[in-house]
Amino acid sequence: MNPSDASGAFDPKQFLNVGEFESVAYARMTKMASDYFRSGAWGENTLRWNVQAWEQIRVYHRAMVDVSKRSTATTLLGSPSAFPFIIAPAALHKLACKEGEIATARAASSRGVPLILSSLSSTGVEEVCRAAKDVDVWMQLYIGKERSHVLDLAARAHAAGCKALVLTVDAPVWGVRERDIRNGFCLPPDIEVVNLMRSSRDGAGHGAEGGLTGHSGAGIAEALGWTIDASLSWKDLDWLVSKVSLPIMVKGICRVDDACRAVDAGAKGVLVSNHGGRQLDGAPATAESLEAVADAVGDRACVIVDGGIRRGVDVLRALALGAHGASAARPILWGLGAGGEAGVARVLELLQTEFDLAMALAGCATLEEITADLLLG
């Protein structure tokens, strides 16, 4: 795949599917950056299963259905989207492209697709919300050791215009990503985790006004260990629900009992996720977890799934399994690394176009017609 025309300019139309961006993007990054984005935990089995599980789901398409008029538009937790998709949170977009999250947000806006901003982003939430002027932004959070910082970031996100908070609950400790250890992963000097800058008085985040320290260490576990907390429990979700007014989605669910407990505690949505295979290697593929969770939650909350989404037909499969929408991060990073804003826009265009065609070929003129019987024959 040659992503450039004769003049050397980036030509997004030369990419015919999302997967073609991957090798181009990684070739343009440093090895440390590409390994950081591509890595899974331990043997990377869950990372691999995520993709394979979607591929193995057969779609028993309906014949002789009038699909001449179709609509892919929907809303996810009140946020409009051009199709049932939201960009998943991923850290440090500036490792892939100089403009980082700004390029991602602009592309999302151009394609009418909302995005979830990682709290480990390399661009501030205020800047990202301004760049994503025509679509909604949600803010991903961890509950770390410093609870006051969680509320501060939630308040910043609300003030910036974010429409929801996404609480990640599958990282009481950081998973072991062996590629990062081998590379001695650390943040380049020109990139900061700006939403989590810490004050400098005592080195533990309780500091004087103005002074900020950066983040350093061999890998995320050392650099940002303070942002998570192994004592995290359901009482912390109760606490967060009681303290904020934005709707909360709980991300990192693979079990029915956890999904129901999250909704019972006041969560407005659950995101079936295994952190892209980057936490517990051996966790089930999200396509394997989704149906039972969606059935148990029913109409009480919005259900989104991420992990291994690579084609528009995967989004159709997700809806047939009961999700309201799907999400992905790595394909967005591939587009960003290969061609910046134009690359991300092309990735979103391809996914939406494939989804629309998959609807037609499966005999579905509306989203409501994407039902479980498509997977049963």
Q: For residue range 100-153, what is the model confidence (pLDDT) as tens digits? A: 999 999 999 999 999 999 999 999 999 999 999 999 999 999 998 888 899 999
Neighbours of 353 (CB within 10 A): 13
CB 226 within 8 A of CB 203: no
Helix (H, G, I), strand (E, B) or coil at 49: helix
Q: Which secondary structure element, helix H or strand E, spans residue 75, and what is its range? A: strand 74-76
Could you read off the pLDDT of 242-254 as tens digits, one per residue?
Answer: 999 999 999 999 9
> Residue 258 falls within a domain, yes or no?
yes
- State the pLDDT at residue 199: 46
Report the first-to-last Cα separation within the chain, whole angstroms. 37
φ, ψ dihedrals at 330, nearest 5° = -60, -45
Domain assignment present for residue 363? The answer is yes
Percent pLDDT > 70 in the chain is 90
Question: Which structure tokens are listed for 261?
Answer: 């407990």
Taking only the tens place, the pLDDT of each residue in 41-69 is 999 999 999 999 999 999 999 999 999 99
Mean pLDDT, range 20-47, rounded to an integer: 97
- For the chain, the domain total comes to 1
User: Which one has a higher pLDDT value, 6 or 184?
Assistant: 184
Instruction: Please indicate, yes or no, if residue 221 is contained in any of the structural domains.
Output: yes
Q: Would you state the pLDDT for residue 221?
A: 60
Look at residue 275 and give its three-state secondary structure. Answer: helix
**Residue 306, in any domain of the structure:** yes
The tokens for 370 are 């994407």
> Which residue in 277, 370, 360, 276 sits closest to 318, CA to CA?
370
The span from the CA of 16 to the CA of 3, in Å, is: 11
Average pLDDT, rounded, for the chain:
91
Q: What 3-state class would DSSP assign to 369?
A: helix
Average of per-residue pLDDT across 253-281: 98
Provide the pLDDT confidence category of residue 222 given band limits of 50, 70 and 90: low
| Nearest to 10, CA basis, from 261, 238, 337, 228 | 337
**Sequence-distant (≥ 6) Cβ neighbours of residue 159 within 8 angstroms:** none
243 Cβ contact list (under 8 Å, min separation 6) = 151, 154
Type of residue numbered 19: G
pTM for the model stands at 0.92
Residue at 203 is within a domain = yes
Residues with Cβ within 8 Å of residue 236, at least 6 apart in sequence: 143
Residue 15 lies in a domain: no
pLDDT in the model for residue 224 = 64
List helix spans (H) across the chain. Answer: 20-28, 31-38, 45-55, 101-111, 125-131, 147-160, 178-183, 220-223, 234-243, 256-264, 286-297, 312-320, 330-362
Helix (H, G, I), strand (E, B) or coil at 86: strand
Tally: H helices and E strands in the chain = 13, 12
Residue 317 lies in a domain: yes
Say which CATH number the domain at 210 has: 3.20.20.70
Task: Measure CA 279 to chain center.
Answer: 14
Average pLDDT for 310-322: 98
Flag whether 302 is in a domain: yes
Of the listed 93, 149, 275, 324, which one is catalytic? 275
% of residues, the chain, pLDDT over 90: 85
pLDDT average, residue stretch 232-249: 97
Q: Among candidates 153, 160, 96, which has minimal Cα distance to 122?
A: 96
Token look-up 């025509």 returns 134
* Domain limits for position 305: 21-370
Catalytic: 275?
A: yes
Nearest-5° angle of CA 200, CA 201, CA 204? Answer: 70
